[in-house]
A and B are shown apart, each in its own frame.
Chain A
């Protein structure tokens, strides 16, 4: 039984079709990577699964419910999203940003997640002073702290150094063993993605 079912999906952006008649299914407890050149529709597909944009053709369903029919709260309950570029412009602390909009339940797990992601050192630092990789980890922490079935990550490894990359991959694998389903965009070669269960490299 698939958690995510993508059926014959086409996505248009700015008048041109960037994802064409694409079908795939994501099984529970798997990690899937999408690779491909810039502008090949990776982020658009992720956004469509997240419910941010609509498909011009086809359907995407999570747990058999059409994403387009779910309310914002229902979508939020089933999936977490990590965006790629994050520019913080107000000097909240790392801890404050992670807690924003979270349930009390999730807030109680902040310390645990900070240690897990090797962020305890800069937990009380202002987010405006973070490096790109650190800011990216704040975003990952915001998603991981929530209990979702599905995690959609747009290039979670792109700005990380080798050590952080290793650690994030370890965490993703651990999440997989806990039954989570992960779809991520990567800019790596297929050979470096052997830790993933599946690699999608052709969206058109």
Chain B
């Protein structure tokens, strides 16, 4: 619990620091930060509270969503290398959003986009799972499904000509620069509901680790548990992909780091991994903005650069969490 309190306490501290980082050089920045409701017409106030703050909130929500998505992916497939990228979930969500955009029925960061993304994510995950006959095959087939869907997304992106093609292609690589306050109204409620449900079903994932036969012998249907986890996974990945695009590595790394800190119990893992995912993405996005202003570094590179060393270090030191 102490460790969790520490991780969660780092979030507001990090968020406050992140508010001070940006291209605009703002004098007396803390007075704006600690007086969020004063001087709303001031441009410094607007930069901090209408541009930076929503982006920081989005980094936390997206990071937490991906951390929890990773727990669901690894728990439901009983596989330590499963993550939304490998299962085809992310690519399915991207394709879903792109189809919605091409049909001109949704825009990036809207509820409609989440629905298109969720359908794509669920179908792709189910496809990988139904084609695979073993845990090892699931990874190989998932990579295949993911590659096909990503290629289709890439092809569509390279042939479309529309006024917003540039921001669509920007989105496809993953970026928090597109976040507006409106996106948070979609992100926050979906995250809240999906993460509570994930916490609720987490103990069934513990049982799943004993194998499908043991699940059966306790009176439960392993496939039904999986379908529930996949549905939540799809929603969580959908809400992140439809608002900020796909972000590499986080969903794989966060659960491993969380397991190292607090063991394999999935209910605690949902909370720990969510908090760690939020912290890593907040750090990565702040670094992306801070390192080379006014340029922004691609977020996927930084999540990998920050997440991977922590992941490798925990696995080397921990060792016995996974056999």
- Asked if B265 contacts A72 (CB within 8 A), the reply is no
Main secondary structure of the interface of B (DSSP, over half): loop
- Asked if A100 contacts B321 (CB within 8 A), the reply is no
Bound form: Cα–Cα A81–B218 in Å:
9
Most B CB contacts (10 A, CB to CB) among A52, A72, A101, A129 go to A101
Bound form: Cα–Cα A81–B219 in Å:
11
Name the CB-closest residue of A to B221: A72
Bound form: Cα–Cα A91–B217 in Å:
22
Query: Within 8 Å CB of B320, what residues of A?
Result: 91, 126, 128-129
CB within 8 Å for A101 and B209 given contacts A87-B323, A96-B265: no
- Asked if A72 contacts B323 (CB within 8 A), the reply is no
Q: CB-defined interface of A68-104 with B at 8 Å, one 1/0 digit per residue?
A: 0000110111001101000111111000110011100
- Asked if B263 contacts A92 (CB within 8 A), the reply is yes
User: Does B206 have its Cβ within 8 Å of any Cβ on chain A?
Assistant: yes
User: Does B214 have its Cβ within 8 Å of any Cβ on chain A?
Assistant: yes
Shortest Cβ distance from B215 into chain A, in angstroms? Answer: 7
Name the CB-closest residue of B to A88: B323
User: Does B220 have its Cβ within 8 Å of any Cβ on chain A?
Assistant: yes
Q: CB-defined interface of A91-125 with B at 8 Å, one 1/0 digit per residue?
A: 11000110011100000000000000000000000
- Asked if A100 contacts B207 (CB within 8 A), the reply is yes
CB within 8 Å for A72 and B322 given contacts A92-B263, A100-B207, A101-B207: no
Name the CB-closest residue of A to B78: A89
Q: CB-defined interface of A50-78 with B at 8 Å, one 1/0 digit per residue?
A: 11100000000000000000001101110
Name the CB-closest residue of A to B79: A89
Q: Pick from A50, A51, A100: contact of B206, CB below 8 A.
A: A100
Query: Within 8 Å CB of B148, what residues of A?
Result: none
Interface residues on A, range: 20 to 34
Shortest Cβ distance from A122 into chain B, in angstroms? Answer: 15
Query: Within 8 Å CB of A87, what residues of B?
Result: 323
- Asked if B220 contacts A101 (CB within 8 A), the reply is yes
Name the CB-closest residue of B to A96: B265
Interface residues on B, range: 20 to 34
Bound form: Cα–Cα A129–B321 in Å:
10
- Asked if A76 contacts B210 (CB within 8 A), the reply is no
Q: Pick from B218, B264, B321: contact of A101, CB below 8 A.
A: B218
Query: Within 8 Å CB of A81, what residues of B?
Result: 213, 217
Bound form: Cα–Cα A129–B319 in Å:
12
Q: Pick from B203, B217, B219, B323: contact of A90, CB below 8 A.
A: B323
Query: Within 8 Å CB of A51, what residues of B?
Result: 216
- Which residues of chain B in 180-228 are interfacial with respect to chain A, using CB atoms and an 8 Å cutoff? 203-204, 206-207, 209-211, 213-221
Bound form: Cα–Cα A128–B221 in Å:
25
Bound form: Cα–Cα A52–B221 in Å:
12
Shortest Cβ distance from B242 into chain A, in angstroms? Answer: 32
Name the CB-closest residue of B to A73: B219
CB within 8 Å for A90 and B321 given contacts A96-B265, A100-B206: yes
Shortest Cβ distance from B132 into chain A, in angstroms? Answer: 18
- Asked if B210 contacts A52 (CB within 8 A), the reply is no
Most A CB contacts (10 A, CB to CB) among B203, B209, B264 go to B264
Query: Within 8 Å CB of B219, what residues of A?
Result: 72-73, 75-77
Query: Within 8 Å CB of B203, what residues of A?
Result: 100-101
Report A's interface with B, CB cutoff 8 A: 50-52, 72-73, 75-77, 80-81, 83, 87-92, 96-97, 100-102, 126, 128-129, 142
* In the A-B complex, the 9 residue pairs with the closest CB atoms: A76-B219, A90-B264, A101-B218, A73-B219, A101-B207, A89-B323, A81-B217, A128-B323, A100-B207
